[in-house]
Structure 1
């Protein structure tokens, strides 16, 4: 490639904040795969946040870039998958798009096509735009990608320009109203912000909820069995089964080591444990498969240490997608006062589904 900004580029990041700040440019926070797109003629590369190429997984996005973007450019955006029936972002099925088999990639591209939502431009032709203020980059982006008509049924495909407002009240409305569409929250950017790769110079405000969960086991840390890697969480369903929700993984190393001793009295055998599936794949529900499986690392150890389902933690999370935490939950506190059997789905708040397609088509 011969571009003024060359891959790999780590995208510019955002620092979390509890409230939407005043006096900024505001965009919805899309929840998909962050992607920096490089195009030099017929050569197109989709680079992920961790600098790994994703080009082979999204052939339909590559074709959309070829059809919609200038012959030589670099843009920053998000690959998203919108449910064709509901118009809600579907991160669970988006993860399934990362499949090693070429035949499977082609089939999924036809069955669950994705779109690229663009929110920044880093280069055009021979011009490096990263040193320009964001307001100017946004103006250039609007020239490239004017808001295009979008069918209000079926999948969302192609290359789309993200909505933007400078009205904080509008941004607050987006934050509240579009949670049901699967959006993460709101991103705020200063008008004079230059593009700074891998630096947290934007602001993000995300939805935060809490949920009391059963701790049903833990996975050992990659450093060895003397530290906890992640706590495995569940909720009791109406049939008496324990559904897997996901994990809490962000803990200080000293706390990880201390937890091994603290959890030792609760360690049990799989026999009689709610997740005693015998290691067999046949007959498992999707939730059970995800409890053992890893879409991101095929070589990851899937063994876990089962615990008697008696301990409860309050977990902070942003969104439940398909009965699972969309992202790794955070530990808020332990709840020794809470009966584990009371941790059921009844406590879960579910926002009303909202169709994102009119919003993305410029409907506000």
Structure 2
């Protein structure tokens, strides 16, 4: 069985590119699928010993029992699936609802109110055979064979080799909780830790790294923001004031750095990836004004944050 990843180096990844035109001509031809606004998940099927792992190796098996049961019942032992954990509400994927469940003191207790689904886009092991060296098209065929009898909460991510349909997906699915497209070469193997895939995102938000909070750690008033540059987190500005309810929710994600020097107005925290509104201009490599905080993305690693010039997307 492929080792459970302890961090993102165990998963194949995608490199952010400016537009759809930058995703064509991948090895063997390009196929596109929606980029779901959820949490990356590996499912290791083994009957009653089935495990769910986050992209950083966290154990989610008991937190999402409905997904664990479905994988155990519907997926043959010796299979490892890669996909996205999502919560759907009112016909759309709702990342905020998923985050509320994941950050709850008892996530499993919310299963009836906020049921999760597992949208699978790759199979990296089948019948105890490692499929990662195989081309993506072979892995996709294997996935569709496995999924022939699946029922909710398991599903497969749609896939197309038609660039015009991909462009329509990019345009039309934005309101359904799909924040872009992922492109894969049909001949590409699954290479952990590499960014062989490509992704195009809607430019509504920018990922930055929060390095400190003002006010209470339990209810931050604002964030000090940075970008990774040559292995260092370089300050680029701050967020605007965070509202009461958003601050309380954010406080559950914040980890203060014990012993770290703090100022009278700010407390240093473990680097936390956050989304801020993309409508703030940049000047001289820093934010021209405070950015609106949108949400925390604790499932992402700071090294995955890219410079904002790379976030200009379009079709």
TM-score for the superposition, normalised by structure 1: 0.62
Match of 1:294 among 226, 240, 252: 252
User: Residues 58 and 109 of structure 1 are in contact (CA less than 8 Å); yes or no, is this contact kept in structure 2?
Assistant: yes
CA distance in 2, matches of 1:287, 1:15: 30
Indicate the SS of the match to 2:196: strand
Provide, for residues 306-343 of structure 1, a one-character-per-residue CA deviation record: whole Å limited to 9, x for no partner.
69xxxxxxxxxxxxxxxxx97356785149xx9979x9
User: Which residue is 2:304 aligned to?
Assistant: none
Q: Contact (CA 8 Å) 1:187, 1:205: kept in 2 or not? A: yes
8 A Cα contact 2:38 2:95, kept in partner: yes
1:169 maps to what in 2?
Answer: 164
* 1:93 equivalent in structure 2: 97
1:55 aligned to 52, 61, 83, which one? Answer: 61
Once residues 254 and 188 of structure 1 are traced to their aligned partners in structure 2, the CA distance between those partners, rounded to angstroms, is 29
1:216-239 CA distances to partner (integer Å, 9 max, x unpaired)? xx97xxxxxxxxx3588xxxxxxx
The 8 Å contact of residues 38 and 74 in structure 1, kept in 2 or not, is answered as: yes
Partner of 1:288: helix, strand, or coil?
Answer: helix
> Could you tell me whether the CA contact under 8 Å between 2:5 and 2:11 is conserved in 1?
no
In the TM superposition, what whole-angstrom CA distance separates every residue of 1:161-193 from its partner, at most 9, and x where no partner exists? 110000011111111111111112000000101
Query: Post-superposition shift, 1:244?
Result: 7.3
What is the alpha-carbon distance in structure 2 between the residues aligned to residue 142 and residue 339 of structure 1?
48
Name the CA distance, whole Å, in 1 between partners of 2:71 and 2:37: 20
Change (3 A) 1:63 1:231: same
Larger Rg over CA atoms: 1
Contact 1:38 1:46 in 2 (8 A): yes
Match of 2:305 in 1: none
Contact between 2:12 and 2:192, CA under 8 Å: does it hold in 1? yes
Q: Distance in 2 between matches of 1:11 and 1:172?
A: 26
1 CA distance for matches of 2:120 and 2:174?
20
Return the alpha-carbon distance in structure 1 between the equivalents of residues 132 and 56 of structure 2: 19
User: How does the TM-score come out when normalised to structure 2?
Assistant: 0.70
Which deviates further from its counterpart, 17-26 or 91-100?
91-100
Q: Is the 8 A contact 1:247 1:328 kept in 2?
A: no
The CA distance in 2 between the partners of 1:181 and 1:246, in whole Å, is 29
Residue segments in structure 1 that go unaligned for 5+ positions in a row: 150-156, 212-217, 220-228, 233-242, 264-272, 276-283, 308-324, 349-364
SS state at 1:50 partner: coil
1:79 Cα offset (Å): 0.6
For residues 1-364 of structure 1, what are the structure 2 equivalents within 5 Å? 3=1, 5-8=2-5, 10-20=10-20, 21-22=23-24, 23-83=29-89, 86-99=90-103, 101=105, 104-146=106-148, 157-209=152-204, 229=211, 248-252=225-229, 253=232, 255-256=234-235, 285-290=244-249, 293-295=251-253, 297=255, 327=275, 333-334=282-283
Determine if contact 1:95/1:295 at 8 Å carries over to the other structure: no
SS in 2 for 1:250: strand
Aligned residues: 264
The alignment partner of 2:102 has SS state of coil
- RMSD, aligned CA: 3.9
